Every structure is written in C-alpha cells, then in structure tokens.
Structure 1
C-alpha cells in the first residue's frame, strides 16, 4: 500500500478540501487528484465523491480515514519515542555490581537518576567481581561497577576509576585499641568478626598478613552479611577490617572507633567497567555521567 498516497488522502479527509490539502502539502491539486485516483484503484475502493463544488467521503472513505488516523497517531508516537530514547528519557539499563557499591553507593545514585529519568527501566544484579566481569563479557549487562583491587581485564573491557576507598580496622569504642596506634602483630591478636570466605576484604586481610609475615587473623565469628558482622563489633566483640564507606557514619556517630595499624594503608578501587568500542545507550551514558558527578 502506498503510504504517501494514504497520507494525502488523510489530509484531504481531515481538511475536507483538496484545495486546502494542496496548500498544506505544497503539492498541486492535479497531482493530488491523480495520486488519489491511483490509490483508489490500488485499494479497489472509492474513497471520495463530489458534493456540490467540493468533495465528501464515501462510506469506505470514512472507514479508511479512521484507520489512517490511528496509523499516523502511532507514527507520531514512534517519532516521539525515538526522540525521547535518543535523549535517554526511555530505555533499559542492565548493570552488575559487587557487594560494596551495590549496597552503599548505587541506591543513592539510582534514586537521583530516576528523579530525572523516571521511565528508564533498571536491572541490577549483585555478584562478586568475577561474576560481574563474566556478565559484562557475555553481554548480559551493559556495565559493571565494582569495588576492590584493580584486576587484569581482557582487552575488550574498558575500566574507569571513580575514586579510591580506604580500608579501616574498627572496634567498639570501649575497646582498648580504640583510636590507638598499634602494630599489625598486635592487631592480629584480636578476634575478628568477618564475612564468609570469598569476601574480597577478608581475602585482603589474609594477604596483608602474609605480606608482612604477621600471624593470620583469627576469624572468631563469621556472617554471610556485612551488617551482621558490624553489629556484633558494635556490641563489643572483636574487630573488623572493612571499607570506610560502610562504617564511616558509625565512626562519626561514635558507635565504632578506628584502630590505626602502623604501616598499613590499603584502599579499594571503585570503578565502572564497559565493553570497549561498543556504544552505550543514551540512558546508560546519562547514568554514568551522573555517577561521575556524585
């Protein structure tokens, strides 16, 4: 079906005049009339008929005009959607994140993002660093946000460091090491309350002890959740080695206290990973820009 001819017919039907349609479309009346006759022949339908000095719609013409109105309304919706999608107002962002950013950074970022881009859909998967990388490589997600040690990535992955986060030793305020400077060996005499095996921060604590030939930490209590581990330390038992992002507010309120271990200055890298040479949607670009600014 000739959509151009259908559009000509629809303008005639909407204005009720070939002359007015000619003026609006900047097409001569004889050209419009010829195309409408050809269109009627294509459809095997009579769409227009003379009425006095003008024209009117046949019964078939009324029905076709109604259907054309729906069609061109959908066309306008598609054009508007394409415009909005290009500006990032619509779309679907798929993201993988490691525990630290997923729980302590991303919720605030996404809250700000959704205030600006309400109709953008979001899917966030919380996993470990290798899981986030695999999802990115397998094209299951558009980006990955991780917190931990910088890793070696394939050439197809692009990494942008956002900032570095300190790792702190913390104890309850009444602990004898609270706000004190101690050696690593002294710190390792304390029982630790940590997350389960496989936790990146736990692995870094063990690696730190190996590096400085210090005794391995004694994990006296183990929880699957970081909140539970911190709560146990606040209650007065043991020590924790944890991201400052997690405990900064606890320390500021006086619920926890830092222990300054001599010679130890470890940091996490908070970074965004994307696939190289693959364009992101405008919505994803807008989210990354918001993260950079926050």
Structure 2
C-alpha cells in the first residue's frame, strides 16, 4: 500500500474536504483529487462518494480511515519516542557499582538525573570491583562506578575517568590499643582483619601494600560480602578494617571508631566511572555520565 496516498486519503477523510486537505498539505486541489482516484484504483476499493457537492466516506472508507488513524497515531508515538531517545529522555541504564559509590554517591546522582529523565529506567546493582569490571566487559552493565585505578584493571576494553580521590584508612574499635596512634605496618597486620570477599579493591590494595613492604599479609578473621557488615563488626569491638575514609569519616569524627596511623603509608583511593572503550553510548547513558562528571567537576 502506498503510504503517501494513504496519508493523503486520511487527511481528506479527517477534514471532510478536498479543498481543506489541499490547503493543509500545500498541494493543489486537482492533484489531491487525482491521487485519491489513483489510490482507489490501486486498492480496488471506492472510498468516497459525492453527496450534495461534498464527499462522503463509503463503509470501506470509514473503516480504512479508522485504521489509518491508528497507524498515524502510532507513527507520532514512534517519532516522539525517537526524539526523546535522542535527547536521552527514555531508555535503560544498567549501572554496576561498588558499596562506596552505591551508598554515598549514586543516590544523589540518580535522583538528580531522574528529575529530568523520568522515563529512563535505571537498574543499579551493588557488587565488588572485580564483579563490576566483569559485568562491564561482558555487556551486562552499561556503565560502572568503582574504586581502584587503571593499573589494577589492565585492559584495552574499557575507558577510565577518575571522578575524585579519597584516602584509605586503617580503622579499629574505639578503645583499641592502636586507636589514634602511629604504628608500623608490621604491627598493624598483627590485628585480625575484617574484609570483603576476594575481588574487593581495598582488599587487593592491602595485600599489594604488604607485598610492597615485604610484610606478611594480615589474617582475615571475618569475611563479609557487604561493607556495612564489616563496619558493624568493628563497631561491636572486634578487629580492624582497611577502608575508604568517605565511608567511616563520620563514625571516626564521632569517636565511635578510631583511625590508626601507619608510618610511611598514605594511600589514595581513586573513584572512577568506567565505560567500554570505543563504544558510542546511548543518549541516556551519555547524559548520566555527563551529569556524574559535572557533579564531580571532572
């Protein structure tokens, strides 16, 4: 079926006049009449009949006009969707993030983003750094936010943009013998540690630190899949954690936890946003990435 002819027919049917249709379509009245007659011939169906100097739809014309209304309404919806998609106002964002950004950063970013992109579906999953990295390279996530650095995730498959840096602290319960003191790394690792599972960037950073200083790695006495559980265990009075300052700063300032200062050790933790290298992001994902970068002044 000739869609151009169908649109012309629909316009005449909607306006009830060849003249008015010709004006709206900006073509001559004879051209409209000619194309309608050709359309009727092509589909072997009479669509209009003359009546009192006007035209009237036949039964077949009435039905076709109703179907054409549905078709062109769907076309308008598709055009609106594509326009919104191009502006990043619709679509889906699958975001993989580690505990720190998922709990302290992403809620504010997501809320700000949704204010202007209400129809974009966001699926945010919290996991460790290795899992977030793997989800990204296996196309299970569109973008990832986690700590670490380029050297820890050597690959030509992903692009890395640092958002900001925070410090990594050794933290113990209040009243611990090492609380607020400066000690050696050898002394620090004598304390039983509470840590995340393998794949956690801070766990890997601690083990790498011990290897660099030729110090035996600490004993992992408790292992949790969530960082919050690790913090609660230390709050309950047991062990030590190696953790981002952003996560525990308030608890340290309130005196509920205590920092330990390890001689010669000052580590920074880079929080970065990761995407697949060379990939053109969907408008929605690109809009979110741009918002995150502007929020952290990258």
Task: Give the TM-score normalised by structure 1.
Answer: 0.91
- Corresponding residue for residue 114 of structure 1: 114
Matches within 5 A, 1:237-256: 237-256=238-257
Deviation at residue 32 of structure 1 after TM alignment: 0.5
In terms of mean alpha carbon deviation, does 194-203 or 8-17 score higher?
A: 194-203
- Corresponding residue for residue 259 of structure 1: 260
Matches within 5 A, 1:226-237: 226-237=227-238
Deviation at residue 188 of structure 1 after TM alignment: 2.5
Task: Give the TM-score normalised by structure 2.
Answer: 0.90
Kindly indicate whether the alpha-carbon contact (under 8 Å) linking 2:131 and 2:199 is maintained by their aligned counterparts in 1: no
Partners in 2 of 1:133 and 1:195 — Cα distance? 16
In terms of mean alpha carbon deviation, does 117-126 or 100-109 score higher?
A: 100-109
- Corresponding residue for residue 58 of structure 2: 58
SS at match of 2:84: helix
For residues 11-59 of structure 1, give each alpha carbon's deviation from its aligned partner in whole angstroms, at most 9, with x where no partner exists: 1111111111111111111111110001111121111111112211112
Deviation at residue 104 of structure 1 after TM alignment: 3.7
- Corresponding residue for residue 8 of structure 2: 8
Deviation at residue 108 of structure 1 after TM alignment: 3.2
For residues 115-169 of structure 1, give each alpha carbon's deviation from its aligned partner in whole angstroms, at most 9, with x where no partner exists: 3212111233444444433333333332222212433433342211111221101
The answer to whether residue 64 in structure 2 is matched with residue 88 in structure 1 is no
Deviation at residue 278 of structure 1 after TM alignment: 2.0
Partners in 1 of 2:202 and 2:54 — Cα distance? 82
Unaligned runs of 5+ in 1: none
Cα distance change of structure 1 residues 136 and 187 upon mapping to structure 2, 3 Å threshold:
closer
Count of residues in correspondence between the two structures: 294
For residues 232-290 of structure 1, give each alpha carbon's deviation from its aligned partner in whole angstroms, at most 9, with x where no partner exists: 21122222111122212222333212112121111222112222232111100111112
- Corresponding residue for residue 141 of structure 2: 141
Partners in 2 of 1:154 and 1:119 — Cα distance? 34
Matches within 5 A, 1:184-199: 184-199=185-200
Cα distance change of structure 1 residues 157 and 261 upon mapping to structure 2, 3 Å threshold:
same
- Corresponding residue for residue 25 of structure 1: 25
Deviation at residue 111 of structure 1 after TM alignment: 2.7
Partners in 2 of 1:64 and 1:193 — Cα distance? 71
Deviation at residue 96 of structure 1 after TM alignment: 2.7
SS at match of 2:285: helix
SS at match of 1:135: helix
In terms of mean alpha carbon deviation, does 22-31 or 234-243 score higher?
A: 234-243
SS at match of 2:85: helix
Unaligned runs of 5+ in 2: none
